[in-house]
Chains A and B, each alone.
Chain A
Amino acid sequence: MNLTRVFTKTAISTPERQQEADADLVIVRQVQAGDVAAFDKLILKYRERLFGVVYNLTANREDASDLTQDSFIKAFQAINRFQGNCSFFTWLYKIAVNTALSHLRKNRMRSFFSLEKLNEEGPGAEVIEKLTDRNGADRDAYLRELQEKLNEAMQKLSIPHRTVITLFEIDGLSHSEIAEIMGCSEGTVRSRLHYAKQVLQGELSKYIRS
């Protein structure tokens, strides 16, 4: 069932990503030609998604904010080196993931969470609605507990496994895109994903359906 879902997602996402990549390339060429203000369009387009990736890797909103900004600055400084061999989105994600991983390696011993409140109107609203319908009265407490337990379980994963599960399940990237971002094969991505899910299932067995 999971495999079917994966293939469906990849098939649907490819033409969308291609359109997105073409639109991004036009803006990138403008920036490369000297139109610095055009880079703001790319920031507005990707800041939430980029923040989401970094936030799910670090589980700290302040760190995530700084690292996302740093990623945009790095991309801005290196934009003349972008030649369009991959999509700008993949290139930007690669910068953000590498920045976050570098930060995590440097601060391996320092880990404290500062979680965002759940936004019930944005993406994920359907899941919240589904969960609260089932748990009526103390919904806020229940959601908070789920959020904390999930974050704890995520932090028990190694950095590569956490990255794979974040990019695949939360950000909805395909295996090939993750492989390109992480610089490994799709097989490695699949195996890491499988292992990460097993660990999470074990950690969250009390809260999830097997």
Chain B
Amino acid sequence: MSDPRHNAKPTLEELLHLKRAERPNADFWAGFERELRQKQLTALVEKRRWWHGLPVLSRRRLYLPVGATAVVAFALVAVRFNTPGHIAQAVNTAPRIEANDPAVEVLPITVVSYPRNQGRYEEPVAAESARPVVVARIEPLASAPVREEISPSARSIAANLARLEQAEPELVQAVMGNRLSAARVQTASLHDEREVEESADSTPRYRLIARYAERALSPQPAAPVREHVARRLGNDLVDDVSRIGVGGNRVSLRF
């Protein structure tokens, strides 16, 4: 026989169904609705944060424009930060021009304008412009240091000349002669004028340097050289003409 006390007990499922009966009363729901309405209004009024719009962006398929903008921005930033330092930090050594400098001269300019006719060329129209153009005489800054450098070859020449001067001073004197003025002109671009003059007067090797320099920079080639070149060119021309032969309808060329 089954135990009546045992049969009186509920099953687990029945007991769990008892939980369905645990429900609040009507008063609770009135308060629940009031609170929910309040929260709903707060949620409606509450300012939306910027990141709440991100899912909308992704839905609108804005991947490409956003991605392209990001790439362009990255490229700009990369170029900006990878610029070589010597370019960014270069010192402007050009002479300064002041607008109110007395050396500044104002000249009128002519502006040439080309009329835009479709496919037809017309002569440009010149018009006198009222706009002045600033033209300046550029002078080096007084404070800029002059670079004084003597090349190694000049030093070696000077040393050889000194040795020659010790061995044969008369020859050196005869060769150098009155060439010191030319030496002053040729070396003026490299040395300060006064220093060159002093050094040329004081040391004979600078006189020899000046002589070589004058010979090298002379615009007129020496007469024998000119004759030699003319003779060579003439021979070549005669030789070229003699290689060409014309006979009847033929032109022959000898090599």
Q: Across the interface, do A209 and B40 meet the contact criterion of CB distance under 8 Å?
A: no
Known: A119-B21, A123-B20, A125-B21. A150 touches B55 (CB 8 A): no
Q: Is the interface of A mostly helix, strand, loop or mixed?
A: helix
Q: Separation in Å of the B61 CB from the closest CB of chain A? A: 16
| B236 proximal to A (CB < 8 A) | no
Number of interface residues of B (CB under 8 A): 30
Q: Which residue of A lies closest to B22 (CB)?
A: A116
Q: Across the interface, do A130 and B43 meet the contact criterion of CB distance under 8 Å?
A: no
Q: Separation in Å of the B159 CB from the closest CB of chain A? A: 92
Q: Across the interface, do B21 and A128 meet the contact criterion of CB distance under 8 Å?
A: yes
| B13 proximal to A (CB < 8 A) | yes
| A11 proximal to B (CB < 8 A) | no
- Residue-wise, chain B 7-31 has the 8 Å CB interface mask toward A (1 for contact) of 1111111111111111111001100
In the bound complex, what is the Cα–Cα distance between A120 and B20 (angstroms)? 10
Q: Across the interface, do A146 and B12 meet the contact criterion of CB distance under 8 Å?
A: no
Q: Across the interface, do B22 and A47 meet the contact criterion of CB distance under 8 Å?
A: no
Looking at the complex, which one of A52, A118, A150 makes contact with B16 (CB distance below 8 Å)?
A150
| B6 proximal to A (CB < 8 A) | yes
| A109 proximal to B (CB < 8 A) | no
Known: A204-B12, A208-B11. A56 touches B36 (CB 8 A): no
A sample of 19 inter-chain contacts (CB < 8 A) reads A43-B33, A48-B23, A51-B24, A56-B19, A61-B24, A65-B35, A69-B32, A81-B55, A118-B18, A122-B23, A123-B21, A124-B17, A128-B18, A130-B10, A131-B18, A150-B18, A150-B19, A165-B16, A207-B10
Having A56-B22, A116-B23, A150-B15, one finds 17 other A-B pairs with CB under 8 Å, namely A47-B32, A48-B23, A52-B20, A65-B32, A72-B36, A72-B40, A73-B40, A76-B40, A76-B43, A117-B22, A118-B21, A122-B20, A131-B10, A131-B18, A146-B18, A197-B12, A208-B9
The interface of chain A, by Cβ under 8 A from chain B, is: 43, 47-48, 51-52, 55-56, 61, 65, 68-70, 72-73, 76-77, 81, 115-120, 122-125, 127-128, 130-131, 134-135, 143, 146-147, 150, 165, 169-170, 197, 200-201, 204, 207-209
